[in-house]
Amino acid sequence: MPVVKESTYKPPFLFANPHLQTVIPTLFRKVNGIQYRRQRIDTPDGDFLDLDWSRIQERVLGIVLHGLEGDSTRGYVMGMVRALNRSGWDALALNFRGCSGEPNRLLRMYHSGDTADLDVVISTVAKDPIYEAIGLIGFSLGGNVILKYLGERGRDINPSIKAAVTLSVPCDLKACSQRLEELRNRLYLKRFLKLLHAKIQHKTHCFPNSISNDDYTSIHTLKEFDDRYTGPIHGFSSADDYYARASSKQFLSSIPIPTLLINAADDPFLSDSCYPKQEAEKNPNLVLEIPRHGGHCGFMSSRLHGQYWSETRSVSFLEQHR
């Protein structure tokens, strides 16, 4: 399908600034009315995943994946869960390893190209005959995981998966890591490194012979973090190797089901290479929408705590292809 010519998203008055769109929902948005029921499932390698369900006893399900150092309680996740429920969908929010409030068991954690855990979740859920259709929704890192997953599996994808929506996706990981090093993004970068540090400290305590927390404060970029931790822990030779193998952009041409990619033109985290117009024009299953505004995982409505444009747009797309 061609790139959407003109997005319908219009930011609220005085909220066109991408940093306001990125920060305000993260810090101040509250989503009421969601009561999760947690399910823990085991992974083949002896670890576990925590799934948070919001069921309304429907026969269609939306699986929601969060971003880097997020979890199922983030406003953007809960807002999407609420929108799914309001539109007659059950919802499942996946917490990546170590993101559910309890450290995972193994040295390995999660990363932008880890599609194996998503496959475990889909395989587990698809065994239940209650669901006639499953949709995938991913934010940022979670969106990269979904796009890579769909492209990797191609026509071998579980037939229960009917459509997907991804938002604010860093589909070129190397370029986006460089983008975060820019002066205007340093506060975001420092926050990510601080959150990741807590996990490294725990891993050092549990696996002192495999990982070290020494001189962590000398790390000032995501590339330095990924060179020291993400790469070695997860089987990559370096950060560059990780970025090359985990970036979803190379998999877009093989996506086999209707998939919507929404990346705001003013997203402070995304490089120019994260707007894959050529790939969308060549793959009839990929729809690329580039709103002029929206920041990173923003797309605010005029009501801070209400339903956002991104949620209405995402559920509408899933409804079209259920």
- Residues with catalytic function: 140, 267, 296
Q: Are 318 and 85 in contact (CB under 8 A)?
A: no
Find, among 89, 17, 82, the residue nearest to 298 by Cα. 17
Biggest CA–CA distance in the chain, Å, is: 54
Residue 295, token pair as written in the block: 């920041």
Strand arrangement of the beta sheet that strand 133-139 belongs to: 37-42, 48-54, 90-95, 60-65, 133-139, 161-167, 259-262, 286-289
Q: Give dist(CA 149, CA 204) in Å, integer.
A: 30
Residue 292, token pair as written in the block: 């002029």
Place of tokens 């950060």: 239
Helix, strand or coil, per DSSP, at residue 285: coil
Q: Catalogue the E-assigned strands of the chain.
A: 37-42, 48-54, 60-65, 90-95, 133-139, 161-167, 259-262, 286-289
Helix, strand or coil, per DSSP, at residue 172: coil
